[in-house]
């Protein structure tokens, strides 16, 4: 307690100190690790997209989605990469991939939710 709050007496603790320690703990042990995981995932997805494009120039989008979807934090990461690699046909491609995208039900809007939680906690 003294290391975290600067005192070993509980009656000297303030709500502000408790909130700061809690926020710092959450930031270091959850959000920093999640951010690192997301960055590593994006690097890995870029590697996968290159491999899939090399295998099949015409059908790389679906195979990339199916292969990368199980490694990603949010399906939007995959859609952003598809958009950057093939911007002209993006809307058509997404319509074709819609049933495959829906299979990844738990991966929708995770980045938005993470940002919302960070904003609410002022991190």
| Residue-wise pLDDT tens digits, 37-90 | 999 999 999 999 999 999 998 899 999 999 999 889 999 999 999 999 999 989
Q: Is the pLDDT of residue 121 over 90?
A: no
- How far is it, in rounded angstroms, from Cα 89 to Cα 53? 15
Task: State the Cα–Cα distance between residues 68 and 53, nearest whole angstrom.
Answer: 13
Query: Can you tell me the mean pLDDT for 21-37?
Result: 95
Is the pTM higher than 0.75? yes
> Per-residue pLDDT for 105 more than 90?
no
């Amino acid at each position: 307690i003294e290391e975290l709050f600067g005192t070993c007496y509980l009656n000297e603790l303030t709500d502000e100190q408790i909130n700061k320690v809690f926020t710092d703990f959450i930031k270091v042990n959850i959000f920093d690790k999640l951010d690192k995981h997301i960055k590593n995932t994006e690097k890995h997805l870029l590697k996968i997209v290159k491999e899939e494009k090399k295998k099949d120039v015409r059908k790389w989008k679906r195979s990339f989605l199916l292969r990368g979807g199980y490694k990603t934090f949010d399906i939007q990461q995959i859609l952003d990469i598809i958009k950057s690699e093939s911007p002209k046909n993006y809307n058509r491609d997404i319509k074709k991939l819609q049933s495959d995208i829906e299979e990844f039900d738990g991966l929708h809007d995770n980045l938005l939710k993470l940002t919302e939680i960070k904003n609410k906690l002022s991190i």
